[in-house]
Amino acid sequence: MANVKFVAVSQPLSGILHYVTNREKTEQRLISGVNCVAESAYEEFTATKMQFHKTGGRAYYHIVQAFAPDDPLDFDTAHELGIKLAERFPGYQCLVATHMNTAHIHNHIIMNSVSFEDGRKFHQSAQEMRQVKEFVNDLCREYGLSVTESKADPKRIPDWKHDLRYAIREAMSCTSTREEFISHMEKLGYKVDWNPGHKYMTYTTPGGIKCRDSKLFDETLSRNSLECYYRLGGVKYLSAAQKSAQTNHEPTPMLRDVLIGMGAVSLALVSLVSDEEKRDEDFFQQVYYAMLAANDILEVIRMLREYQDRDHQPWEQTYVSSAKMKPETADDDEPEENDLSAAQSAKQIIPEYNDDDYESDEDYDEEYARNHGEDDYDEDEQGWGMGMSM
């Protein structure tokens, strides 16, 4: 497999040529010129620009062609593939250097931005990039190397990827550990690179196509999902979930059903029993029920948030005005003037009246009218608001 990318220009032409031909990284036999002599690449690039009066703008393009560490490839073959890639750009001068100082073999191709044939400047495009990747994949197939997708599209899943996803689910449905999963996938013809030090899992199909778990476009088949699944017990967990559903006369969950929603809660429960031998069928059932409960809680929280987003506030309805009331104390028999005015401004706050302070009901009503407004009093009904009798 070879990954190809155009690297952003970060230094002048002389600097990048010096970097890629550094003898600490490569050897003389692994440095070649295409449409130019490697030793005089700088002079020839510059002469072409001056000939066509195009010395400004972008001076060169930097292309990196990197190969997978597990591909059966030596330095000379890698250099040959780099030359063939450079020859794909006819009319442009290129310097090809193969680096030997890293775990993966890779080529650096420095291409002049101006054509020596007609002076036309090269312009990279998305279509050009796709064509280059397809060309490199064809070279890899020709040399018996693995290939990669030129462009992963979640809306257009190729047949080989459907087959891979089916194989992963089949292996998960009958294995309890990570090691058993890898072994079962190998029996189906797939290689699995599940390295703890790597960010992604990488699958290699029987046809030699490499695919990361992130390019499967199925969250239930991601590395995190598989690690969680096997920490829960793998097929043991699946069997316990299915048995629990049958006991409760519920629809039998399939593999995808039990994978959805697994996360930190399940992992925390598993960590309570670090010894895998002590995880019996009851334990797996309890974990499954806990996951269902956690999912129900999350669903309720989601619904409540949606409800609040529609400007509803069911628990914080405010019926009293924002007037600040002084707390009652044992020494305060009567409210202060400021406190009384604040209370009168709040419609829901009704002053307390002592019957002993008034000689008659009429005095009581007059005092009440002064505090609440005379319009509220109805002489015909002899009462206050809502037809209440006094």
Of 290 and 201, the one with more pLDDT: 201
- Distance, in Å, from the CA atom of 146 to the CA atom of 140, rounded to the nearest integer, reads 6
Choose among 95, 92, 130: nearest CA to 114. 92
The pLDDT value recorded for residue 189 is: 95
DSSP labels, 83-113 = HHHHTTSTT--EEEEEE-SSSS-EEEEEEES
Q: Which CATH class is domain 2-148?
A: alpha beta
Residue 130 neighbours by CB under 8 Å, 6+ apart: 150, 151
What is the 8-class DSSP label of residue 326? P
Q: Which run of H or of E encompasses 366?
A: helix 361-372
Residue 157: band (very low, low, confident or very high) from pLDDT cuts 50, 70, 90: confident
Does the pLDDT of residue 26 top 60, yes or no? yes
- Which residues in the chain are classed under CATH 3.30.930.30? 2-148
End-to-end CA distance of the chain: 94
User: Count of CB atoms within 10 A of residue 94's CB?
Assistant: 26
Lowest mean pLDDT of 166-170, 329-333, 383-387, name the range: 383-387
Which tens digits make up the pLDDT trace of 235-287? 888 887 788 777 777 777 777 766 665 554 555 455 555 555 555 555 565 66
Choose among 203, 241, 240: nearest CA to 221. 203
State mean pLDDT over 283-296: 61
Which tens digits make up the pLDDT trace of 50-92? 999 999 889 999 999 998 887 889 999 999 999 999 999 999 9
Residue 349: band (very low, low, confident or very high) from pLDDT cuts 50, 70, 90: very low
The pLDDT value recorded for residue 340 is: 46
Which strand ranges, in their side-by-side order, compose the sheet holding 202-204? 147-148, 209-212, 202-204, 191-193
Does the pLDDT of residue 95 top 80, yes or no? yes
- Distance, in Å, from the CA atom of 345 to the CA atom of 376, rounded to the nearest integer, reads 15
State mean pLDDT over 112-125: 93
pTM, rounded to two decimals: 0.52
